[in-house]
């Protein structure tokens, strides 16, 4: 191809003559020029696609960070812990009311042992008939696995049970962030 102004051959396909520095009209009928322009368009499309995927990855990362600290997300975890505490509460009350457990010789001593705060996540085996009955109701071998089921932020893994009166049980999940005023779950 030649410059239409000075008549000298063009060295590249930029559309500017290096000899006279004027813009020339490059016809699209030239196969070399068409191949050059197609390569430039392909590079620009590839760059656009790469930029798009980088922006998409950043958006996903930012949404994951926001979801991690989302208060609604934390509320659902606290709600799950409250349901766990409520099921423990129900299981212990059911175990206390069970006539088979009440007829055991060690029932009065085990009942008295639970009148002081007791960490049921440290319980293993059949050392307390009331807790053994509660573990059976919860369909668990031992209550130690309950600490792994706690999900809320700040939960220490300790679930404390106290018999506070006749047919009254208090279940306290220690360290669970419930609200700005209360930092533990208590079910009575």
pLDDT band (50, 70, 90) for residue 111: confident
Report the 3 state secondary structure along the chain. CECCCCCCECCCCCCECCCCCCECCCCCCCHHHHHHHHHHHHHHHHHHHHHHHHHHHHHHHHHHHHHHCCHHHHHHHHHHHHHHHHHHHHHHHHHHHCHHHHCCCCHHHHHHHCCCCEEHHHCCCCCCHHHHHHHHHCCCCCHHHHHHHCCCCCCCCCEEEEEEECCEEEEEECCCCCCCCCCCEEEC
Whole-number Å distance between alpha carbons of 148 and 59 = 32
| Interacting residues of 70 by C-beta distance below 8 A, sequence separation 6+ | none
- pLDDT for 181 equals 45
Tracing tokens 């919860």 back to the chain, one arrives at 138
6-59 residue pLDDT tens: 777 776 666 677 777 777 665 555 666 666 667 766 666 777 888 899 999 999
Nearest CA to 167 out of 95, 84, 99 is that of 95
Nearest CA to 149 out of 79, 68, 81 is that of 81
- pLDDT for 33 equals 63
CA distances to 73, 99, 146 from 117, rounded to whole Å, are 30, 24, 17
48-82 residue pLDDT tens: 888 899 999 999 988 877 766 666 666 777 788 88
Using the predicted structure, report yes or no on whether residue 95 has a pLDDT greater than 70: yes
| Interacting residues of 2 by C-beta distance below 8 A, sequence separation 6+ | 8, 9, 10
Average pLDDT, rounded, for the chain? 77
Whole-number Å distance between alpha carbons of 75 and 79 = 6
């Amino acid at each position: 191809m030649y410059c239409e102004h000075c008549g000298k051959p063009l060295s590249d396909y930029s559309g500017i003559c290096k000899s006279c520095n004027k813009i020339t009209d490059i016809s699209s009928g030239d196969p070399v020029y068409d191949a050059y322009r197609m390569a430039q368009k392909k590079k620009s499309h590839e760059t656009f696609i790469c930029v798009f995927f980088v922006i998409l990855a950043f958006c996903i990362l930012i949404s994951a960070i926001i979801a991690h600290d989302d208060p609604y997300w934390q509320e659902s975890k606290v709600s799950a812990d409250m349901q766990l505490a409520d099921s423990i509460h129900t299981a212990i009350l059911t175990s206390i009311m069970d006539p088979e457990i009440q007829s055991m010789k060690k029932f009065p001593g085990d009942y008295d042992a639970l009148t002081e705060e007791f960490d049921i996540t440290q319980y293993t085996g059949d050392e307390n008939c009331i807790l053994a009955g509660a573990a059976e109701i919860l369909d668990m071998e031992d209550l130690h696995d309950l600490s792994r089921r706690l999900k809320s932020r700040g939960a220490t893994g300790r679930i404390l049970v106290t018999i506070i009166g006749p047919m009254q049980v208090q279940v306290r999940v220690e360290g669970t962030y419930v609200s700005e005023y209360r930092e533990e779950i208590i079910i009575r």
